[in-house]
Amino acid sequence: MKHIVIDARESGTSTGRYIDKLIEYLAKEKPAYKVTVLTAPKRVDFIESIAPKFLTVVSPVKEFTFSEQTRLLEQIKKLKPDLVHFGMTQQPILYRGKTITTVHDLTTARFKNPAKNPLVFWVKQKVYRVVIKIVARKSETIITPSEYVKDDLAKFAKINSRKIEVTYESADKITEASEAIEELVDKQFLLYVGRPQPHKNLDRLIEAFVSLQQKHPDLHLVLAGKKDALYWQLEKHVKNQKLENVIFTDFVSEGQLKWLYENTACYVFPSLSEGFGLPALEAMVHGAPVASSNATCLPEIYKDSAEYFSPTDIDSMTTAIEKILTNKNLSDKLRERGKKLAASYSWQRMAKKTLEIYKSTLD
């Protein structure tokens, strides 16, 4: 029986949603292979719960570390796999067995992270760019979550796009009961959910919100996500500018997140760069009308189910949101289209196609 190793060290993170869902739905396909999953110590119980027939092995090796090139390399070699699926670009570049790599996007190669030490991040980014090209060339197959990333990677790494396969991701409806956030009950609010990295473009979203307040003084902007250094910086900026009605929720429960999606007047996704754009698709699942950036893959993924704007143009962003706030017919249409669109994506279909990629690679 052929042996497949899946690198799931990112399980439990925002990027790790992909690998978690892949493992969950691959297990339902009952593959005719021995499957071993490498994951962090704190995620072992979770992986075993979604894929009890797979062997789960602890791998405490963190990404972007020297140990990734040494300890992880030795760990994989000892497992003697016929195929390794790396769920992210970061991996031992000296491993010479058959590999498949999922490349989610090239954001890390192109954008800075002001929360990190500038010099250290500059060095890591340079290394990362080299690693992407090495990985793209040595992998038997590359998996990307959109046609946009497929084309972008082929040009960046100078590889034939025929070795790249697209497997679209999906979004799940939250099963927990809605839990209202008291300070927002009966209030009209815009919503963004996620991290505040520079490519998420939240500074321009705040500028657009300030502009919208001229016509909608009671409007609120809700930025939902666990507070980190970048969120603290953003919140400090809002306070220094004495901006009103901007709410930083910090961590929200699944029930609270569901309520936010269900009650927002408009979910705004101002990102400059995405590989798939899962957050706005999750908003659509719950019936939120979406105003989205027209950058990178987003029009490919959202099709006619969002009102688009240029993410670098404040007036364009403001106009798109204003349309949704003031045009009920448009808002209702986007809600319905969004639900249908979200239902057209499937984690099970993604897992089936990935299994086909495994088979063709092993054959």
pLDDT-derived band at 235 (thresholds 50, 70, 90) equals very high
pLDDT tens sequence across 70-99: 999 999 999 999 999 999 999 999 999 999
Residues 246-266 have a mean pLDDT of: 97
The per-residue pLDDT for 15 is: 86
What whole-number distance in Å separates Cα of residue 340 and Cα of residue 335?
9
Q: Could you write out the DSSP letters of every residue in 164-222?
A: EEE---------SPP---GGGTT--EEEEES---GGG-HHHHHHHHHHHTTT-TT-EEE
Q: Are strands 246-250 and 266-269 parallel, antiparallel or unpaired?
A: unpaired
- The torsion of the CA quartet 68, 73, 74, 79, rounded to 10 degrees, works out to 120
pLDDT tens sequence across 166-225: 999 999 999 999 999 999 999 999 999 999 999 999 999 999 999 999 999 999 999 999
Residues 136-161 have a mean pLDDT of: 97
Q: Which of 108, 164, 96, 94 lies closest to 136, judged by CA? A: 164
Question: Model-level pTM?
Answer: 0.94
Question: Is the distance from CB of 94 to CB of 66 less than 8 angstroms?
Answer: no
The per-residue pLDDT for 158 is: 97
What whole-number distance in Å separates Cα of residue 136 and Cα of residue 153?
8
What whole-number distance in Å separates Cα of residue 125 and Cα of residue 284?
33
Which amino acid is residue 219, in one-letter code? L
The per-residue pLDDT for 175 is: 96
Residues 238-255 have a mean pLDDT of: 96
pLDDT at position 12 over 90? yes
Question: Is the distance from CB of 10 to CB of 40 less than 8 angstroms?
Answer: no
Q: Which residue has the tokens 């991040």?
A: 121
Q: Which of 280, 93, 90 lies closest to 191, judged by CA? A: 280
Residue 141, token pair as written in the block: 């197959």
Q: Which residue has the tokens 């570390």?
A: 65
Residue 229, token pair as written in the block: 């250094």
